[in-house]
Amino acid sequence: MTPVLLVSTEDRTRLHDLFRTFRRLGRLLVPSEEIYEAAGRVLRQLQAVHGYRLRQANSLTHEVLIALSARAIGGTVVTQSQRDFLAIQSIRPFKLSLV
């Protein structure tokens, strides 16, 4: 997945407005301490079961946090990142929609 670069003032303003709207609607989700602890366990299992090299898989930590946060609220992760999210799902089930 390619990171999004916000280079223009207009892009930064749009993102700020989006966050402000999500905050006002109560739609921002911040992982809890329990989710961070569970993420550590999932990452260790991904390393043991699927052979992930955690020092080389920087985005995997973020993906695990996203999956576990969605699981905690009964949400569905919608993504194109099939390989990693299917591996995470094999360790800790959550709702996943691949596009």
Please report whether residue 2 resides in a domain.
no
Global pTM value: 0.80
Please report whether residue 60 resides in a domain.
yes
As for how many domains the chain has, the answer is 1
| Distance from the first to the final alpha carbon of the chain | 13
Please report whether residue 45 resides in a domain.
yes
Convert the pLDDT of each residue in 18-61 to its tens digit: 999 999 998 888 999 999 999 999 999 999 999 998 888 789 99
CB atoms within 10 A of CB 22: 12
Pair of tokens at residue 94: 């959550």
Please report whether residue 1 resides in a domain.
no
Please report whether residue 55 resides in a domain.
yes
Decide: helix, strand or coil at residue 55. helix
Please report whether residue 21 resides in a domain.
yes
DSSP secondary structure letter of residue 81 = -
36/12: higher pLDDT: 36
Please, what is the Cα angle at 1 between 99 and 20, to 5 degrees? 85
Q: Which domain holds residue 75?
A: 9-98
